[in-house]
Structures are given as structure tokens and as C-alpha cells.
Structure 1
Amino acid sequence: MEKVKNGLGRVSSRGLVLAVLGVVTLAVAILSVAVSYDILEPRFGAWAIPTVGALDALWVVFQATEILARNHKERARRVLIAGLALTAVNAAIPTAELILTAQNGGARLDLAVVLTPVAIIATKTAWWIALPSLGRAVSSDTRQAIATRRQHVADRLEVMEADAAHRVELLEVAAELDARVAKAEAHYRETVLKAQQSTTETLHSQAASTEKTLTAKPVPAAVAAIRLPDLENWTPSALALPGTERAVSGTPAIAPVQGGTQVSGPETGSGTPGGTPGGTGVTLDRLAAVAGVPVPEPDVPLTDAQMGVVLRHLRHADDPPLSYRQARDAYRRAGYVGSEQRVRIAWGALVVQEDGGETHDTEDAEEASA
């Protein structure tokens, strides 16, 4: 039998399998020779020895030749057919003896005769099963290369299985997290929708109440004329007017006249903006300082706040306060710049702030009738 050894002197796996099969085959061949000789010797005499020896020897040789010719399919096919034929012949001798013994009443039934054909057929079957799987006989270097490659493939397959297990675990965890996130998102959206519903219902109820109030009690136009303070341009409240008791920034309030006497008489020949042409002691400079605006100058474009300061000064320059026409004419005579529309708007805002717009409305009616 073929024995292929590696560098360490150890028998290869293929050689070990072949050795075991060879030993089994040789033992079966010896058993076949003994049983066949006992069967054929009474009939053939001394010729029984070479007959059974040749049959079993050829059977063993064909088994070994089949191993050697395994790489060549055409040669292996011939040896395989011859081996099968000898297997049938060697198994047929004890089988025929069993049949004849059974026909004679089974007086003598030897166990070796029973086992021999079974052993022969089983041995040939074992060769038929094991031999194709052994492959070709290769050198130790080739076996080492094949073993290294096989180990690489095994390592790669193990890594692939580990990656697949990790992937499965990842997908399972991701699916669980996706479900939790989806549930949380649904809860959040539900909360937002409930908040929107509550807000909408509250606003709708308030809007209905407000609409009802506005329908029953419309807001006067004068309310919309009140300008709201601006963060960058906010200034303290305007100077107190006649009829109030407060003072702003340490400046005495303009008190109403008593007994027809002015608080301070007009300065003779004073027509300048900084002067006091009428019946108060508050100058235009002080009014501008309280309003937080630059002092208005004639022939210079004025802001709305400066125009309001000039009109406030002109209105209270005499007692009783000037009407719109009188204040407008005084505004023009003093040389201040401003269109009729801006002057009227500033005057309206001043009147609304001081007395609710009643004087303005009366003056407009008088001017229209005139």
C-alpha cells in the first residue's frame, strides 16, 4: 500500500486510510482462501490451492491497482470492472456452498462460510465508497499549501458567520429602537396636536368674545391715533398741561391763569422760537428737552416729535389756548417748515393726548363753516 510521509515522518491521512483498507482487504482475502479451499478441496483436490490462491491474490492486486490508476479514469475503469468480477466469483463460492447446504437440510452450516461472501462484498463496497474521496497522492508541500488554503477558507467562513450574526443582532436592535422612536414620535405629535387643539379652542372662544365686544362697543378712532412707545426712541411723558398738578424733570407745571392775569407776560418784540410769546413761563427749549428732541429751528425740516413740541408751545402761548387755525398761522409766521397735512396730524395727536380730541373736532367744524 502507498504510504506518503511528510517532513516529520508521519503517515498522511490518505496513507493511513489506505493502510487500514489494505489490512482489512488482506484479512478478508485470507479468510476467502481458507473457506474456498475447504469448499473446493473435496472436489478438485490439490488444484484447489492454486485456484483459490490465484482468485484472492488477483482480487487484492486489482484493489491495489485501482488505487494506482485512480488518476486515469480509463485505466481505473478496467481495474474496477475486473475487481468487481473477482469479487462476484470469490463471493459466489461460499454462497453456493450455503445454498447446497441449505438444500441438503442444513446439516452442517459453518459460520465462516456465512461471513466470507458478506465480508468480500462489504470490503469491495468500502473501497468503492472511500477511494474516490481520498483524491490524488500529492507531495507534502502541496498538502501544506492545501491545508493552509483550507484553513484560510475555514477562517473566512467563520468570520462570515460572525458578521452575519452581528448583522442579525444589529438589525434586531435597530428594529426595536425604530419601534421605540416611532412610538415616541407618535406620542410627541399627539401631544402637539392636543396643545394645538386646546389653543385653537381657547383662541376661538376668546375671538368670539372679542368680536361680540367690538360689535357692541366699537373702539373710537382716537384710540388708534395713540402712538405706542418705541424701545430705541422712547422718551418720558410730555410736559404736564394746564389742569394737572405734576411737574416733569423739576420743571414747574403750566398752571392755569387766575383772574385773567398771565403767569409771565410776553416779552416785548420776542418772536424767536426760544422765547415765550404767550401766557406761560415754559420756553420752547425746555419743552424740547422734556420731549427729548433737538430744539426745533425755523426753515429746517422737523420731525413729527419736533412739530408736536412747536405746536404745544404755540397752543399754550396764550390763554385761552390757541385754536388750530391760530396755532397754524403762528407756526407759519415763526418760519417753521411743514406741510398742511403733517401739521394737522401733529395737531390732532396733540389734542387727543391733552383733551381727547374734542377741541380739534370743534375747531374743524368752525373752520369748515368759515
Structure 2
Amino acid sequence: MLPFSKTRPNPDDAGGDVPAVRSWNWRGAVLAVLGVVTFGVAILSVSVSYQILEPRFGGWAVPTVFALDALCVVFQATEVLAGNNGARARRVRAAGLFLTAVNAAVPTAELLTRDGSTGVDLAVVLTPLAIVATKTAWWVALPALGRRASASTRQRIDAKRQQVADRLEEMEADAAHRIELLQLARGLEERVAKAETAYRLSVLKTQESMTKRLHSQARATEKTTASKALPASVAAIALPVLEEWTPERPALSVGRPALVPQVSTGMGSEPSHETTRAVTLDEVAAVAGVPVPVPGVPLTDDQLSVVLRHLRYSRDPPMSYRQAARAFRQAGYMGSQQRIRLEWAALMTHEGEASEDDAEEEAADA
């Protein structure tokens, strides 16, 4: 069988005669190669077997040798034509194996019975090996070839095989991509795990340090509490409740908190002069319940009243309206003259200490 097959025109086609086209057939190529090898081994077997059998059988050696090799070739060709139909090829396969064993046994027996002094012919040595090797090649290659198929069937089979090959290649690529993704994800997971571990370690170290510091502070507090117990009056102070709390503004003392000499008398002793500490602006603001006034920042009415009260009693005797207004400007506080005059009048009315001098100064300024 040749590796090229000729496609004959189909008379049933509407187009009439179609030119013959030769198409390549890999099955035919394999069979052709095996056939050439088998034909060469058959010639070698005929030549060697004839040389061995001719001295013993004479002219009968020729038909015997040709019959053995011809039948072996016929059985092999019949096995090829049977294709992959095992039931049809079973008997010819068995007969071919028997003839192969007979053809290989002739030179093998010659080698075993030949006297060593006459030497060894290389052809006699190679013949049984070539016969067995050729039959083995047919035994291995022939089942894979299958039956002979038409060109259209081979095209459909090739197309199907190509689809399967493409799908397998896609699966291989998908698997490779997934493996790469998993490897990258594994690396990222390891990095994230290391970062999380480092973060948790830092948090634990911070908690450990904080616990040690709090423990030491708690021990010091415990010692202080044990040695210096708070009086019951401290615990009796009521805490504010959100729904019930309202801001309260304690009334300021009408007294003069500046450094005022005070005279005290005792039995059989001379008078002694004592001084009290001057009240600061922060304390006055705390008592009034307003933020501490800051120079250069606009003041509310309450803050303006606190500043004027503090300036009035910052010295003894208390300042007048004009002196307090001048000290107010020099200290850098912000407020119009009208506001200062109104708050000063309210202060004097509240304290009930308005003097004629203050009234005259207010009238003159107005």
C-alpha cells in the first residue's frame, strides 16, 4: 500500500467528472515502510534458509523456503486488511506467528548445530533477529492503525482531534494560570499573615507596657489611699445629673478682695495689721462661671463685667469709672465705651456703691 491514495471522480456528483487528487495518508505511509522492511527481511530469510536447507533437501529447498516466506507475507497482509477487527485477524495472526517462529527457527538451529571451527556467518546470526524484530514491529504498530478510512472521514476525525487538542491545551493553560494565581495568593497571604502577626505583637507589647505602668500606679495609689484617707465630706459632694443639671452662677462677694489692711484687737495687746491675698482674674471668672477673659479677643457682657469688677478692686481704694476704663484699655481688652459704661453702671447698682464722682465721670465721658 502506497502512502498516496488516489481519489476517483464520483459519477453521482452533480458537477460531473472531478479531477483525481492525491492526498497524503499517514496510515499508508506506515504500512509502506513496514512492508518494505518486511520484504527486505523476507529476501534475507529466503537467501539464508535456502543456503541452509539446499544441502539437505536439494531442489525441494526452493519451494519450501518460498512457501514459508510467501505465506508469512500473505498472513501479515491479511492481518493488515482485517484492520482492528480482532475476530477476523485472530487466526491469521496465529498462523503468522507460527510461520515467523519456523522461519526464525531455521537459522537458529543452524547456529546451534554448526561446528565452531567453521566460523559464524553474520547473515545467519542476523536473520532470526530480523524476522522476530519485524514481526514485533507489526505486532506493536498494526493495532494502532485501525481500519482504512476515506478522506472525508479522516478530515472529520482530524477536526475532532484538533478540537480535543485545542481543548486540552486550553485546560493546560487554565491550570497553569490557576497554579500561578494560587502561588501568588499564597505569597500574599504569607505577607499579610506576617504583617498581622507583627501588628498583634506590637499591640500586645503596648498592652503589656500599659499594664505594668497601671499596675505600678495602682500600687502607689493604694498606698496613698491607705495612708491618706479622704474625709466623708468629699464623698458627700453630689455629682451633676445630665437631665437635672442647670448652670448656676454663684454671687460674687461684695467685699473688697484687694490687699486691705485689717485691724484686730486682743485682750491686753496692741492693734495688729493683717493683709489678705489679692483675688486673680481667673478666680473671679471661675466664681462668675464664665470663660477667662483674654486681651485682644471680643468679650461677652459677663466677661466685661468680670474684668471691670477685677480692675475696680485690684487696688485700695477701689478704682473709679475713669480709672477702670483707662486700665481696661491699657490691659488690651476689647469693648466699646458704651458697653463699658453700661456694665459699670450695672456693677455699681448691684453693689449699691455708686458715688457722685463716678456719676460725674460717666456724664463727662458721655
TM range (shorter): 0.5 to 0.7
| Among candidates 183, 187, 190, match of residue 176 of structure 1 | 190
Alignment of 1:29 onto 2:42: yes
Equivalent runs, 1:137-216 vs 2, <5 Å: 137-138=148-149, 139-212=153-226, 214-215=228-229
Is the 8 Å Cα contact of residues 104 and 128 (structure 2) preserved in structure 1?
Answer: yes
Equivalent runs, 1:34-45 vs 2, <5 Å: 34-45=47-58
2: CA distance, partners of 1:25 / 1:114: 17
Q: What letter is aligned with 2:173?
A: V
2: CA distance, partners of 1:142 / 1:171: 43
Equivalent runs, 1:180-329 vs 2, <5 Å: 180-212=194-226, 214-215=228-229, 218=231, 220=233, 224=237, 238-244=251-257, 248=305, 250=308
The equivalent of 1:127 in structure 2 is 138
The equivalent of 2:76 in structure 1 is 63
Deviations 1:253-302 (A, max 9, x none): 999xxxxxxxxxxxxxxxxxxxxxxxxxxxxx969x98xxxxxxxxxxxx
Is the 8 Å Cα contact of residues 241 and 254 (structure 1) preserved in structure 2?
Answer: no
Report the more deviating stretch, 17-26 or 164-173: 164-173
Q: What letter is aligned with 2:204?
A: E
The equivalent of 1:54 in structure 2 is 67
Which runs of 5 or more structure 1 residues have no equivalent in the other structure?
A: 256-284, 291-312, 317-370
Tell me the CA shift for residue 53 of structure 1.
1.5
Is the 8 Å Cα contact of residues 84 and 143 (structure 2) preserved in structure 1?
Answer: no
Is the 8 Å Cα contact of residues 240 and 253 (structure 1) preserved in structure 2?
Answer: no
Is the 8 Å Cα contact of residues 83 and 148 (structure 2) preserved in structure 1?
Answer: no
Is the 8 Å Cα contact of residues 82 and 147 (structure 2) preserved in structure 1?
Answer: no
Tell me the CA shift for residue 77 of structure 1.
0.9
Deviations 1:160-202 (A, max 9, x none): 4403531441353044224413421331332232243134224
Match of 2:186, SS state, is helix
2: CA distance, partners of 1:222 / 1:77: 113
Q: What letter is aligned with 1:34?
A: S
Is the 8 Å Cα contact of residues 45 and 103 (structure 2) preserved in structure 1?
Answer: yes
Deviations 1:229-252 (A, max 9, x none): xxx976776333235358945579
Tell me the CA shift for residue 86 of structure 1.
0.7
Q: What letter is aligned with 2:48?
A: V
Is the 8 Å Cα contact of residues 3 and 12 (structure 1) preserved in structure 2?
Answer: yes
The equivalent of 2:99 in structure 1 is 86
Distance 1:136 1:166, change over 3 A: farther
1: CA distance, partners of 2:197 / 2:6: 66
2: CA distance, partners of 1:184 / 1:118: 74
1: CA distance, partners of 2:235 / 2:131: 127
Match of 1:99, SS state, is helix
Is the 8 Å Cα contact of residues 98 and 113 (structure 1) preserved in structure 2?
Answer: yes
Distance 1:254 1:225, change over 3 A: farther
1: CA distance, partners of 2:45 / 2:101: 12
Q: What letter is aligned with 1:158?
A: E
Distance 1:21 1:244, change over 3 A: same
Tell me the CA shift for residue 72 of structure 1.
1.2
Tell me the CA shift for residue 59 of structure 1.
0.9
Alignment of 1:100 onto 2:96: no
Report the more deviating stretch, 79-88 or 58-67: 58-67
1: CA distance, partners of 2:26 / 2:184: 42
CA RMSD for the aligned pairs? 4.0
2: CA distance, partners of 1:14 / 1:55: 27
Name the % identity.
41
1: CA distance, partners of 2:191 / 2:57: 89
Is the 8 Å Cα contact of residues 4 and 15 (structure 1) preserved in structure 2?
Answer: yes
2: CA distance, partners of 1:48 / 1:185: 97
Aligned residues: 256
Distance 1:66 1:4, change over 3 A: farther
Alignment of 1:19 onto 2:27: no
2: CA distance, partners of 1:190 / 1:201: 16
Which runs of 5 or more structure 2 residues have no equivalent in the other structure?
A: 8-20, 259-278, 285-304, 314-344, 353-366
Is the 8 Å Cα contact of residues 62 and 79 (structure 1) preserved in structure 2?
Answer: yes
Distance 1:135 1:211, change over 3 A: farther
2: CA distance, partners of 1:106 / 1:59: 34
Is the 8 Å Cα contact of residues 90 and 120 (structure 1) preserved in structure 2?
Answer: yes
